[in-house]
Structure 1
Amino acid sequence: MTIAETVDLLHNYEIECDHITVRRWIMQGKLKAIHEDRIFKVKEPDVLDFLVDLSRVGTAYEKGINDETKIVRLEEKVLELQKEIDKLRCEKVNLEFKLGIMPF
C-alpha cells in the first residue's frame, strides 16, 4: 500500500493521522515499510501489527519499556482492578438488599 492508502486504512480504525504522520512513524521504525523507487510501501499485516502496538501504549505490554516500568504498570492495574472488585461487591450487596435476598 502507498502512504495514502495506509492513511485511509488507519482512518478506518479511527486513527487520526495524515501522510506526514505516517511517514514519521515509518522513519521512527514504528511502522514497518519498504522503500522502493523512492516510494514507501506498507503491507497490511504491518499496519495491523502497528495497531496492536499502538493499543498497548501506556500498558505493561508496551513495546520497548523496561521491566521496572512493566512491574509498576502491572501493580497499578492490580490496584485498579481491586477497586473495581470492591465497587462491584458493594453494588451486589445493595442489589441483594433491594431484592430482599439474604446473603449466605
Structure 2
Amino acid sequence: MKSKNGFLILKSIIKPEVLKQMGKLTEKEATLLMNSYGIKCDVKLVKEWLNEGKFKGNETDGIYTIEESAVYDFLELLRWEGTAHEPGIDDQTKLSRLLEEVNDYRQRVKKLEEEKSELERQLQDLLGTVPF
C-alpha cells in the first residue's frame, strides 16, 4: 500500500505500535524538514502555526508530534500561496495574478531579446560578418 506522501508501508511486517509512530515528527524535526524545502522558520514559528491550526499536531506530556503528511500538505499550500493557483482564491484575484504573470513574462522576453541582439552585435564585431 502506498501512503499519501509516497512511503511504502508493509503493514504485514511492521508491528502496529511501530507503525503508529511512523510519519510523526517532533516540532524540531518538522522545522528541519521545512528548512530543507527552503522555508525559513524556527521551532517557535512552527509552534505558532500549530496553535493557528495551519497543520495538526498531537500533544502528549507537553511534547507535540506532527503528522509528516500534514507538513507536506502545508508545504504544498505554501508553494502556491500568492500565485494564481492558490487554493481558495476568487476568480477575480486569480485573473489579476495571471495577468501579472503574463506581464512579467513579457518583460523577461523583451529583456532576453535585447540581450540576444547585443550578443549578435558583439559576435558580428568579432567576426566581421552578420552571422544570422
Whether TM exceeds 0.5 here: the answer is yes
2:71 maps to 1:50: no
Q: CA deviation at 1:29?
A: 3.2
Change (3 A) 1:96 1:2: same
Higher helix share: 1
1:41 alignment partner, SS class: strand
Of 8, 12, 23, the residue aligned with 2:36 is: 12
How far apart, CA to CA, are the structure 2 residues paired with 1:14 and 1:83? 27
The whole-number CA distance in structure 2 between the counterparts of 1:76 and 1:11 is: 29
- TM-score, normalising length: structure 2: 0.63
The one of 91, 95, 98 aligned to 2:119: 95
Report the structure number with the largest CA radius of gyration.
2
Letter of the 2:58 partner, please give it: H
Structure 2 runs not aligned, ≥5 long: 1-24, 125-129
| TM-score, normalising length: structure 1 | 0.76
**CA RMSD of superposed structures (Å):** 2.2
How many residue pairs are counted as aligned between the two chains? Answer: 102
Helix, strand or coil for the counterpart of 2:112?
helix
Relative distance call for 1:68 and 1:62 in structure 2 (3 A) is same
Secondary structure class of the residue paired with 1:42 = strand
Identical columns (%): 38
1:32-71 equivalence runs, <5 A: 33-35=56-58, 37=60, 40-71=64-95
Q: CA deviation at 1:9?
A: 2.0
Separation (CA, whole Å) in 1 of partners of 2:45 and 2:78: 14
Q: Which moved more, 1:50-59 or 1:94-103?
A: 94-103
Deviates more, 1:85-94 or 1:10-19: 10-19
Q: Distance in 2 between matches of 1:14 and 1:81?
A: 24
2-structure distance, mates of 1:86, 1:14: 30
Q: CA deviation at 1:11?
A: 2.8
